[in-house]
Amino acid sequence: MIRTKFYRRIFELNGHPIIAKGLRSFAQSKASKPFIGSFAKLYKLNMEEATRGIHEYGSLHDVFTRELKPGARPIADSADAFVSPCDGYLSVVNDLTLESTFTVKGQEYTVEELLGSSTKAVPYAGGQVLIFYLSPTDYHRVHVPIDATVEEVYTLGKEAAPVNEIGLTHGLRPLTRNYRLVSRFDVAGSPLAHVMVGALNVNSIVRTNEANVVHRGDPYGYFSFGSTVVLCVPKGTFSFNGKTGPVKMGEAIGTWLS
C-alpha cells in the first residue's frame, strides 16, 4: 500500500521541476531496484514481452525504458502504411484552421507554439494533428511511423509541466512549455513533424537514432518518464483509418497519400 501511494504521488507531482529531477535521479539509481516488482504490479506491466526478466533490471528507469522482444510489436508492412510510433491513447484533430489551432483536453494550442516557429507551422494549416498520450503502463520507446528522411532535429522548452489535468487546471501549457524533441521528416516530398514531449522530467527525452534516413518501425528514442507524442501532417497527405483510443506501436493507423 505504501509503495502504491508512492508511485501515484510521483505522477501527481510530475510537473514540479525540482521534484522531477530528484525522482529521475532516484529512478536511475540502484536504490530504486527494490521498487521494481511493486511498480510492475501496480501498473500491470507485461514483462513477458520484455527482453529481460524483471529481476535482471537494475533500476526503475531500466524497467520504464525497457526494450521488447523481436515480434512483440509487429510493424504493418503494406507499402503506404503509416503506423503508430508508440503505445498510447490516440486522439486526432482534423481540419486545422488557417491559424493552425487545435484543442487538447479543453485547452487551445497552436502548431506554431508546439514547433516554436510560425514559418515551420505553415505547412500544417488545414492538416491533422495526431496526439498519443502514454501512461506508466505503456512501452516508452518511440519509433518512426513511416519511411522518411530526417531534415531537421531541435529541442525546445525548459520547464516540466504535467500533461494531465493538474497542469491544465492551473493554467499551464504543457505541450508548449515542456522540454520537447522536434524532428522534421521529409516523406516523399512532404513534411511530417514528429514531436516528443517530456511530461515528468526536465530533458527526459533521449534520441537513440541519429540516422539521416529512417524506416517505418525503426527505434527513434525514448522517454525517461511520462510523455506525449504529437505528429503533425499536412492537408491531403494522410488518410486516417478512424481508429482512436488505445493503440500499439507498429499498428497501421492510416496511409500516406503522397
Q: How confident is the model at residue 164 (pLDDT cuts 50, 70, 90)?
A: low
Residue 171's φ and ψ, nearest 5 degrees, are: 80, 15
Quick one: 5 exposed, middle or buried, by C-beta within 10 A (0-12, 13-18, 19+)? exposed
What's the length of the chain?
A: 258
The residue among 160, 149, 157, 161 whose CA lies nearest residue 115 is 157
Residue 168 has pLDDT above 90, yes or no: no
As annotated, the active-site residues are 87, 143, 227
What mean pLDDT do residues 65-92 have? 95
Q: For residue range 210-226, what is the model confidence (pLDDT) as tens digits?
A: 999 999 999 999 987 66
Mean pLDDT value of segment 115-132: 91
Domain extents in the chain? 2-64, 81-256
Give the pTM: 0.85
- Rounded Cα–Cα distance for residues 165 and 10 (Å): 15
